[in-house]
Structure 1
Amino acid sequence: MRWKCDKQIIRTVPAILLKQEPLWLNRMMKRESLPMLFSRFSAFAKAGRVAAVLGMGILGVGVAGAALAPVPVKAQGADGGIAAAQQIADHFSSARTMTGEFVQFGPRGEQTGGTFYIERPGKIRFNYNNSPIRVISDGDSVVINNRKLDTWDLYPLSKTPLKLLLADRIDLGGGRLQSVKQEPDMTTLVLGDKSVFGDSKITMMFDPKSYDLKQWTITDARKLDTTVMIFNVRTGVRFTNDMFKIDYQRIAMKRKGQ
């Protein structure tokens, strides 16, 4: 399934909306025409009612009707809650490779975008548009590389919630599934592992009918969120052998000051 996103909306939406609730934007893009969407943004901005719009979820009312409240897994029953969520996770992890475009929203409302590539288990790459930055995971480590400054920040993949997204099979057992939220247009799974990631967690949002992943949010130990929305996704693609290669030799040389 290919999901197309109108980039003009992304560029035009006020930064405060992107900072507060990217998922809200995702839903609005599905339900509203472009003129209607801009009209809503303009009207709410002039009236100073941005907070009220974003608070609709608290009241259990969405733009197109009532939304369901978050349902903790324990409240659903451990077996039933995990089984339903596992079906979605299994569909996602059955796609061994995928690529597409992404828009990323940082914790201060900053917006970037580019192309992403995933190969299970453990491999991901983000190429950012008009930027020397790239992020690569080779299954063992994750590196943030600034090609212009020749800087390399290396982290173990096993210590980041990104590992849960890239697992060979997304296992929701062992207390990793923290909550499930079901709505007419989105199913949300929150995963974490305090013994490994501390307070960090990953929130994954899926289409409830196709089970396709639409976006994910990484929440770090400081409760800061980084959200990635994906679109124009293709699965079953082949990559070159060096797509997820990390230049450890160059990293070692930099650490020695060479």
Structure 2
Amino acid sequence: MRFRPMFAICGLSCLLAGGALPPVACAQEQMAVGASDHDHALLEQVERHLDAISQLKARFRQTAPDGKESTGTAWIDRTNRRMRFQYDPPSPLLLVANHDQVVFNDSQLDQTTTMPMDKTPLGLLLRPRLQLSGDVTVTGLLHDGHMLNVTLVRTDSPGDGSMTLLFHDSPLRLRGWLIQDAQQETTRVDLLDITTSGGVPPDSLFSTDLPEH
């Protein structure tokens, strides 16, 4: 595992000051990341847990950088590197990741945006096997006995943004993530009612054939 030495997390509430997230004491969250045996053991648990997730369906609650919340249903197919975020009405938004692209559609604005999957932190989550080493650098680690948060960047392009994976502990299970983009704006996604069985979703669910404008 690769670490950025002595990186301190100021805490999620500090990162999203003014947003609609539960307050957390920054002093409690501050911790330095080092290459201790305990750190390595925690990250190995994370790798094993993510490796065991091939298909996932969940309800989600998304908190935007301005604090506004939206909900919807998420499908994640890590085996085939694809994802669909279908937002509940009246939201006009739809996000589909497939074919090494992330496609974001806003039907109200009649606008579709496409970007390479490997240029977004979401591409890390969709890897069939996410190894927390090599071309991925762990820049933050927080473990308080009840939750575990791991912040990742692409080693060669940290300016593209970061992803903080959020886990419940004992037993370990994914509960969401934070995405900080290249403009330092942060979006939080909380996963609810998660199921990891039920077979492979139909290909049509992940169609990126959306209108370009």
User: What is the aligned partner in structure 2 of residue 188 from structure 1?
Assistant: 149
For 1:199 and 1:214, how far apart are their aligned partners in 2? 23
For 2:41 and 2:145, how far apart are their aligned partners in 1? 19
Unmatched runs of 5 consecutive residues or more in structure 2: 1-15
For 1:206 and 1:176, how far apart are their aligned partners in 2? 18
User: What is the aligned partner in structure 1 of residue 198 from structure 2?
Assistant: 237
Structure with the larger helix share: 1
User: What is the aligned partner in structure 2 of residue 129 from structure 1?
Assistant: 88
For 2:155 and 2:19, how far apart are their aligned partners in 1? 25
For 1:84 and 1:124, how far apart are their aligned partners in 2? 26
Deviation of residue 170 (structure 1)?
1.1
Distance 1:21 1:187, change over 3 A: farther
Deviation of residue 192 (structure 1)?
0.4
Deviation of residue 196 (structure 1)?
2.7
Tell me the percent identity: 26
Structure with the larger strand share: 2
| CA contact 1:19–1:107 (8 Å) conserved in 2 | no
* Cα RMSD, aligned residues only: 2.3
User: What is the aligned partner in structure 2 of residue 38 from structure 1?
Assistant: none
For 1:110 and 1:212, how far apart are their aligned partners in 2? 26
Deviation of residue 245 (structure 1)?
1.3
> Which runs of structure 1 show a deviation greater than 6 angstroms over 4 or more consecutive aligned residues?
none
For 1:199 and 1:185, how far apart are their aligned partners in 2? 30
Unmatched runs of 5 consecutive residues or more in structure 1: 1-16, 25-53, 61-67
Counterpart of 1:176 in 2: which secondary structure?
strand
| CA contact 1:176–1:191 (8 Å) conserved in 2 | yes
| CA contact 1:95–1:236 (8 Å) conserved in 2 | no
User: What is the aligned partner in structure 1 of residue 6 from structure 2?
Assistant: none
Counterpart of 1:191 in 2: which secondary structure?
strand
For 1:225 and 1:19, how far apart are their aligned partners in 2? 12
Deviation of residue 233 (structure 1)?
0.5
Structure number, greater radius of gyration = 1
| CA contact 2:58–2:193 (8 Å) conserved in 1 | yes
For 2:191 and 2:53, how far apart are their aligned partners in 1? 15
User: What is the aligned partner in structure 1 of residue 19 from structure 2?
Assistant: 20
User: What is the aligned partner in structure 2 of residue 103 from structure 1?
Assistant: 61
TM norm structure 2 = 0.81
Distance 1:20 1:90, change over 3 A: same
Counterpart of 2:202 in 1: which secondary structure?
coil
User: What is the aligned partner in structure 2 of residue 91 from structure 1?
Assistant: 49
TM norm structure 1 = 0.68
Counterpart of 1:168 in 2: which secondary structure?
coil
